[in-house]
């Protein structure tokens, strides 16, 4: 095999081994690169440029906004939101925006967020797995059964890919007790279904960053106990660097070795030469003198990666999520007569092997073998 084929095969084997050894399902962190690949949505700067051009009252091109703010895109978002605010109120009588978004309960950025929701909704309306340029990849992705999916994307691509994962949006990720339980899709920057929760302006980011310590507290169990796979992000992405910075003191291992359960997957558009020697790990500069070393895999296609993340698990996601919730309610209830449990759902679980596996018990045959030894 070539150098790159050796590298890719070895990395995929390590990922499969990580899943098997951890006896858990992966956590997928999904960034804008995945939506760009599958629904042709723009990156952040591209999204802002699109809405500058789409504003009938456009004043300046994108360069005016980014000339001294390229590393401060939330400020650019605020400027564009202000222009949509002015446009919306100038045209209020024409019904260009829904009447409800003129309510005082919304911030001035709601008009830009409304447009973002409509735009990304139109992108999703054109999406289908069958006949897609990356159909094989998408079919492999659908067969993964992640413990949870965490995304900063606003669109509904992940809902389409993992329809049985329950979406939790924006501030509810912090507030909801069950948000880090099995079978959830955490949309930490909001969703097109709730435009007011979209994080796009400086004001939005200030609120988000002010509460990030609570988000990190929620996500810490993920980084301690589960395989973490980053997809569709750049290593320079401030969202990822911020999250890694907050958890680095707890999860950091020896400086010479990457954190064993974190993998960063980078996609390259150009074919990777057979003789290419890609790195197996990378050091991420977190700022303030802090760094973290994580596993790294460079790919030109996601198909083999997605196959390596599959675990041949047949139990329905929604049933297992409900079972976990029922067990929690049993444990927290004061008396047997005060159980907040859907008994009918528990009665539907007729396969004792599935139930015992989900509860962490070993099969009787395996225990007998251990005793005999």
369, pLDDT greater than 60:
no
User: What is the rounded CA–CA span in Å between residue 262 and residue 278?
Assistant: 17
- The strand pairing partners of 297, in sequence order, are 265
Q: How far is CA 313 from CA 145, 212, 250, 274, 316, in A?
A: 7, 33, 31, 34, 9
What pLDDT is recorded for position 367?
A: 44
Q: Summarize pLDDT for 92-115 with one digit per residue, the tens.
A: 999 999 999 999 999 999 999 999
Confidence of residue 179 (pLDDT cuts 50, 70, 90): confident
Confidence of residue 236 (pLDDT cuts 50, 70, 90): confident
Min mean pLDDT across 177-186, 191-200, 258-267 is at: 177-186
- Residue ranges with strand state E in the chain: 27-30, 148-151, 166-169, 184-187, 228-231, 259-267, 281-287, 290-299
What pLDDT is recorded for position 131?
A: 97
- Residue ranges with strand state E in 32-169: 148-151, 166-169
What pLDDT is recorded for position 332?
A: 57
CB burial of 273-291 (b: ≥16 within 10 Å; e: otherwise) equals eeeeebeebeebebeeeee
* Domains in the chain: boundaries: 3-41+127-308, 317-372
State the architecture of 3-41+127-308 in CATH terms: 3-Layer(aba) Sandwich (3.40)
Confidence of residue 325 (pLDDT cuts 50, 70, 90): low
Written as six digits, the tokens of 354 are 């599935």
Min mean pLDDT across 42-46, 63-67, 115-119, 245-249 is at: 245-249
Helix, strand, or coil here: 148? strand
Q: Summarize pLDDT for 131-168 with one digit per residue, the tens.
A: 999 999 999 999 999 999 999 999 999 999 999 999 99
- Residues 199-226: what's their mean pLDDT? 91
39, pLDDT greater than 60:
yes
Q: What is the distance in angstroms between the CA of the first residue and the CA of the last residue of the chain?
A: 42
Residue 351 is inside which H or E element, if any?
Answer: none
Q: 5: exposed, middle or buried (C-beta count within 10 Å: 0-12, 13-18, 19+)?
A: exposed
Helix, strand, or coil here: 284? strand
Q: 171: exposed, middle or buried (C-beta count within 10 Å: 0-12, 13-18, 19+)?
A: middle
366, pLDDT greater than 60:
no
Q: Summarize pLDDT for 269-305 with one digit per residue, the tens.
A: 999 998 888 999 999 998 888 899 999 999 999 999 9
Min mean pLDDT across 65-74, 203-212, 246-255, 284-293 is at: 246-255
Confidence of residue 82 (pLDDT cuts 50, 70, 90): very high
Prediction pTM value: 0.85
Residue 357 is inside which H or E element, if any?
Answer: helix 352-359
């Amino acid at each position: 095999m070539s150098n790159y084929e050796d590298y890719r095969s070895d990395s995929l084997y390590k990922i499969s081994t990580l899943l098997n050894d951890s006896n858990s399902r992966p956590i997928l962190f999904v960034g804008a690169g995945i939506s760009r690949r599958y629904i042709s949505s723009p990156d952040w700067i591209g999204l802002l440029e699109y809405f500058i051009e789409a504003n009938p009252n456009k004043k300046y091109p994108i360069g005016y906004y980014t000339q001294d703010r390229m590393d401060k895109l939330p400020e650019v978002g605020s400027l564009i939101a202000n222009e949509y605010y002015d446009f919306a109120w100038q045209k209020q009588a024409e019904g260009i925006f829904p009447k409800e978004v003129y309510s005082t309960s919304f911030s001035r950025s709601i008009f830009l967020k409304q447009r973002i929701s409509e735009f990304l909704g139109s992108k999703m309306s054109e999406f289908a797995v069958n006949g897609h340029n990356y159909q094989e990849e998408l079919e492999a992705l659908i067969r993964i059964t992640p413990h949870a999916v965490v995304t900063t994307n606003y669109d509904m691509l992940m809902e389409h890919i993992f329809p049985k994962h329950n979406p939790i949006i924006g501030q509810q990720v912090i507030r909801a007790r069950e948000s880090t339980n099995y079978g959830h899709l955490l949309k930490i920057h909001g969703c097109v279904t709730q435009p007011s929760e979209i994080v796009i302006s400086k004001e939005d980011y200030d609120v988000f960053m002010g509460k990030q310590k609570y988000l990190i507290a929620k996500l810490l169990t993920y980084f301690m106990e589960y395989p973490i796979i980053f997809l569709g992000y750049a290593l320079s992405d401030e969202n990822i660097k911020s999250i890694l910075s907050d958890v680095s003191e707890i999860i950091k291992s020896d400086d010479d070795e990457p954190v064993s359960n974190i993998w960063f997957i980078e996609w390259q558009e150009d074919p990777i030469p057979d003789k290419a020697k890609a790195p197996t790990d990378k050091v991420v500069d977190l700022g303030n003198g802090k760094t973290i070393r994580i596993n790294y895999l460079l790919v030109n296609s996601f198909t083999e990666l997605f196959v390596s993340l599959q675990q041949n698990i047949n139990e329905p996601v929604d049933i297992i999520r409900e079972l976990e919730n029922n067990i929690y309610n049993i444990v927290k209830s004061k008396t047997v007569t005060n159980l907040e449990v859907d008994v009918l759902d528990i009665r539907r679980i007729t396969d004792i092997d599935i139930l015992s596996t989900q509860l962490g018990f070993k099969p009787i045959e395996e225990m007998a073998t251990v005793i005999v030894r």
